[in-house]
Amino acid sequence: MRRFWEDEVTRLFVRSLLKNIVERKARKLERLKVLDLGCGSGDGYDLLMGVTAKDPGIYEYSVEVINETVLGKYVGIDLNEDLLVQARELYGNNEKISFQHGDFSDGLPIRDESFDIYFSSFGTFSHNHDKQTVNLLRDIALHSEKDAIVICDWLGRYSYEWQELWTKDQGYETFMDYRISYIYSPEERLTADIQSFPLRLLSSTEAMRIIGDASMLSGVEIKVQRCFDRSIFVGRHMDTAEYNKYCPPIRQSVNSLLEPNLRTNLETLIIDYMPRPGFDQQNKFLEGFSMCWNTLVQHTMDFLADYQDGSVPEDDLAEFVNFYPEPLKHAVKSMRKVINATGELPGDARANIVEPQLAYALRKLEMEMQQGMAVGHGLVCILEINK
């Protein structure tokens, strides 16, 4: 999930802006400088260096937007010394990469050097109170390179994972006690000493307010290029159901889809969404999305059941598919093509081709149907500094 869904969704949303900034730097004969805020053990480096160009030809070997030649410097900042030690062990042999102990709760810790990309991942900004984030974005706007990109990442206020914590009042900062229980098995959770810490749950409205305040304080335009929901129905706490007893372990099932030589019971992917009264907008989207998700899974099961003589019968694609939302219609037709194209290949085509493609089809469905409503595990905002 982390490698093939969550990181890849972020890559696909940011790649056009990254491509633009890389081209601008190249025209000026300059290389890219990146500051990773809350770098942990360096996962952000892999994420950004794994961004690929849009629609590369299948004959091309190197398709990365940022390669070692383009990159001039990558600096990671984190409070956790243990994670910094891990990061240095992993990347210490690369002289372009460095990791420093730093605290960005009181603003930008590096102000004597400007960067082109300010990056955070997986809820990093949720460690801050809103005023701290405003000050951080203000400092970035003041000290960044012209046309720098900022990638902000919070926990979504209205994720189904913590539906019990939903609240309508956005006039105060809502924090949750976020437990790292998903690293334990259900049996171990009963006795384990589980680490927890407060994390801010943020709506899209609150994110716009924070960004607007930072722009006003800095006197620099901070332009919102895109906000998107990441990991709808597939976040880590779907499997624990600690904050919503109705959560099915969907993340576990999607991980199974992506596991080589392992067949998945596709029925475990079905979501029985339970709405929470009083949240009409969120319920309408999440229920509609769950119906599209379930429909794609059901069609895939039907295609597999009906596969015969090298193909799925043409009449198995019912006429009502044409009335589906466009992303669902495309996904259903794509899965039929995949099954028809791979059904007779040697080896376990279902486990190694069909199931991973179903995971990618579900991921694409999420990307095309999400509306940046803070209904996923993560709410990500991509900003551009216009000086």
| Size (the chain), residues | 387
Taking the chain (387 residues) in consecutive chunks of 10 residues, what is each chunk's mean pLDDT?
A: 92 92 93 95 91 77 85 94 94 92 91 94 93 97 94 97 92 92 89 92 96 97 96 96 96 97 97 97 98 96 83 68 91 93 86 97 97 97 94
Predicted pLDDT of residue 61? 75
Predicted pLDDT of residue 315? 63
Which domains can be identified in the chain, with CATH numbers?
2-156+199-231+372-386 (3.40.50.150), 250-369 (no CATH)
Predicted pLDDT of residue 226? 95
The 10s digit of each residue's pLDDT in 19-32 is 999 999 999 999 99
Amino acid symbol at 332:
V
Q: Enter the pTM of the model.
A: 0.92
Predicted pLDDT of residue 299? 93
